[in-house]
Every structure is written in structure tokens, then in C-alpha cells.
Amino acid sequence: MPFAMVINHDDFTGNIVLAAENEAEQNQWLEMLQESGRVTWKNAQLGEAMIESLEAQGLQLAKEKQEYLDKLMEETEELSLQREQKEHLERLNLVLEEEKQKFEELVMELRAEQDQIKL
């Protein structure tokens, strides 16, 4: 066959034989095969670049996630400390309120006693 081409590749077993009817058709086949090889190589390069970009984005997102978690932990600790301080102040307020009541009762007793003395 004067315009036949034999193709072999490691990805498949055996050979592929393409038979063209004339030299122009044979040249078209060769051009298409060469173009498909370039497209495949470009796709491989593009795919590799995309993978590298996604990996970089993944690392950046992981770093941002860790920073967010660290900040969240700090805020949680701060809120916990504020809650403890609030509870402590509330307890102190109760103690002061009790002392105020005792003081007011004492003042009333002293006024009553003063009124008795005046009489």
C-alpha cells in the first residue's frame, strides 16, 4: 500500500495501520496526528499548571484556616475570661448589696436610737 502509515505506541499492543488513498490524504493524516500530539502535550502542561495552582491554593487555604482557628481560639479564651470576670463581679455585687442592706439597717437602728435619745 503506497500511502499507508504504521503507528505503534507503548500505550497499546500491536500496530495501527492507516491507509490513505493518495499522498494529500496521507499528509492530512500526518498533520492531524502531529496536531493531536501537540494538543495532548499542551493539555498535559495545562493540567500540570492547574494542579500546581490548586495545590498552592490548597496550601494557602490551609494556612488561612489555621490562622482563623487560632484567632477563634484566642477569641474563645477572651470570652471565657470575660464571662469569668462578669460572674466574679456579679458575686461581688451580691456581697455589696448584702452589706448595703446591713448598713441601711444599722443606720435605721442608729436613727431610731438617736430619736429615743432626743426624746
Dihedral in degrees, nearest 10, Cα atoms 90, 96, 101, 105:
170
- Identify which has the larger pLDDT, 65 or 2: 65
Specify the pTM: 0.46
- Pairing outcome for strands 15-19 and 4-8: antiparallel
Instruction: List pLDDT tens digits, range 76-109.
Output: 999 999 999 999 999 999 999 999 999 999 999 9
Instruction: List pLDDT tens digits, range 43-75.
Output: 888 888 999 999 999 999 999 999 999 999 999
The amino acid present at 36, given as its one-letter code, is S
Which band of pLDDT confidence, cut at 50, 70 and 90, is reported for residue 36? confident
3 Cα distance to chain centroid = 59
| The three three-digit cell numbers of residue 81, written as one number | 475570661
